């Protein structure tokens, strides 16, 4: 029963964050790119910081080389983690399919970061490059 309640709570929290992210009028730089353009930009960007916002078990199953893990579903840890990121770097972000990275992008943009998001997430990256 506790697992069901925790899962339901997490769904509601994620839904609220997605709704807020979609409703906001982002004035910060926020770009969503398809995998090939994302990787081209990432490689060419001297200020790039690659951030995987999935869970640790997902990261362990496979990730884009060079990515740092910071789980957005663990909000306190995520918010603490972004405090240590360099705002002069462009954050290249991804999750499994794109939903969690949108939530994370909202937090990052609200905290003054420039963000490039991978459209379709790691699943799209795998399809394009593996």
Q: How far is CA 49 from the centre of its chain?
A: 12
Range list of β-strands (E), 1-130? 30-33, 48-52, 68-69, 90-94, 114-118
- The answer to whether 95 is a known catalytic residue is yes
Structure tokens at 3: 């697992």
- From the list 95, 104, 115, 124, the catalytic residue is 95
Return the active site residues: 95
């Amino acid at each position: 029963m506790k697992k069901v309640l925790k899962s339901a709570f997490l769904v509601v929290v994620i839904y609220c964050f997605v709704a807020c992210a979609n409703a906001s009028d982002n004035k910060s730089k926020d770009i969503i790119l398809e995998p090939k353009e994302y990787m081209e930009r990432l490689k060419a960007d001297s200020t790039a910081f690659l951030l995987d916002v999935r869970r640790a078990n997902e990261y362990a199953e496979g990730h884009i080389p060079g990515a740092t893990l910071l789980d957005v579903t663990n909000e306190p840890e995520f918010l603490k983690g972004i405090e240590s990121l360099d705002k002069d770097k462009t954050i290249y972000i991804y999750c499994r399919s794109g939903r969690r990275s949108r939530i994370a992008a909202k937090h990052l943009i609200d905290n003054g970061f420039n963000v490039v998001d991978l459209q379709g997430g790691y699943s799209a990256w795998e399809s394009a490059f593996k």
